[in-house]
Amino acid sequence: MSDAVSPLATPFPAMPPVTGAHIATVRAGYKAWERHDLTLALLDEGTAVAGVTTQSKCPSPEVEWCRAALPLGRARALVVNAGNSNAFTGNRGRAAVEAIAARVAAGIGCQPSDVFVASTGVIGVPLPIPTAEAGIDAALTAPQVGWEEVAAAISTTDTFPKGAMARAVIGDRTVNIVGVIKGSGMIAPDMATMLGFVFTDAAIDPLFLQQMLNAANGRSFSCITVDGDTSTSDTVLAFATATAGNAPLSSFDDAGADAFAAALNDVCLQLAHLVVKDGEGASKFIEVSVEGAESDRSAHRIAMSIANSPLVKTAIAGEDANWGRVVMAVGKAGEPAERDRLAIRFGDTQVASGGLAVEGYEEAPVAAHLKSQEVRIVVDIGLGEGRATVWTCDLTHGYISINADYRS
């Protein structure tokens, strides 16, 4: 993790262990750093799994492995490597994933397909199998660690560890949901552009867990962007160990299903916001809301066009209410919009309406709003009922410095 902590960083929350999940971290040594970089989660038999993976057309072998295993709906282990993404590494990369799964499977007595693998770091360098196997052997006998240690071990350019939790009541049982995530750059989810892992002690049918994760992802990870770049590697996995003793959930007709879905949504949204708050070089957390579009999908595309615009992001970094750049981003989104119906707000102040600047609007409240660490932009398209909200960060010199030096 970086020594320079994001000004938007938040303290790591107190999070309980999840029964049925034993998690250890060790230093495998993927890079020349003195920190833990391999995480191994051992999961009780009967653990259900669901996941969403990057839509990149150049996915890593780890992503392909997880995609093949997810339909089985079961998991016994998770391995996360930090410092080497193992992406774009051909047969050597695939062999590394197979070796990792086989090593864990032999160690705990399960099928390789029960082992999920994720890696993050530099693209194009094959993951060294002897290094991974030695790390796994050490992790198999290592003591359990806390969630903050897990969040730190899965990180690369992150500046602070990220975690979130929630609880839900299912019948007479209270279940825990905890999550950790890494992500700072190469964030423009066409699903999820980071590594995120959610653990719960609830008993849930894997197909229903997948349904709920898909919905939660659509409201969280797929609504954030740092730089407009979708990663080759990233994955969000949810594991349910079924140790809480609740009646298993299999549909929204089951008591407690709505409460669990709401808690899962909460955890995913918290994690997504933390990724944006650790955006490389970020100094401001920006919420972009679009309303009045022809459809929710259209509103989402327009909001992401605004959030991904370097001109909008640099204007916010400079605390400049340049609403013309917002108009530009709306116009280039490729979605229905009419210039003379647009209305734009910065915070609570209307700055443009009907295709014109609001005559005599006061700049002082806008300037004060843009000086804060959290900025809100609202755009009314004026065509329909579609609405969407996405989150991004500003674009500063820090982003260039981090990525210019990334491989050194």
> What are the helix (H) ranges across 278-320?
296-308, 310-317
The answer to whether residues 156 and 162 touch, using CB atoms and an 8 Å cutoff, is no
Question: CA dihedral defined by 274, 275, 276, 278, rounded to 10 degrees?
Answer: 90
162: annotated binding-site residue?
A: no
Q: Is 156 annotated as a binding residue?
A: yes
Dihedral pair phi/psi, residue 88, rounded to 5°: 60, 50
Beta-strand relationship, 343-346 and 349-353? antiparallel
282: DSSP letter: -
Flag whether 235 is marked binding.
no
CA dist 121 to 2, 99, 158, 330, 346, Å?
14, 19, 11, 34, 36
Angstrom distance (rounded) from CA 104 to CA 114? 9
Q: Report whether 157 belongs to an annotated binding site.
A: no
The CA distance from 94 to 116, in Å, is 13
Is residue 193 annotated as part of the catalytic site, yes or no? yes
Token couple for 325 = 């750049």
R_g of the chain, CA atoms, integer Å: 22
d(CA 157, CA 163): 16
Cα–Cα distance for residue pair 148/15, rounded to 1 Å: 9
Q: Is 243 annotated as a binding residue?
A: no
**Phi, psi at residue 199, to the nearest 5°?**
-125, 135
Distance CA 137, CA 102 (A): 12
H or E segment to which residue 267 belongs: helix 257-277
Main-chain dihedrals φ then ψ at residue 185, nearest 5 degrees: -135, 175
φ/ψ of 196, rounded to 5, equals: -135, 140
Pairing assessment for the beta strands 38-43 and 77-84 based on DSSP bridges: antiparallel
CA of 66: how far to CAs of 59, 120, 144, 179, in Å? 11, 14, 24, 18
- Three-class secondary structure of residue 177 per DSSP: strand
The pair of structure tokens assigned to 124 is 């194009």
Q: Which of 39, 53, 193, 225 is catalytic?
A: 193
List, by residue number, the catalytic residues.
193
**Which residues are annotated binding-site positions for substrate?**
156, 182, 193, 280, 403, 408
**Which residues are annotated binding-site positions?**
156, 182, 193, 280, 403, 408
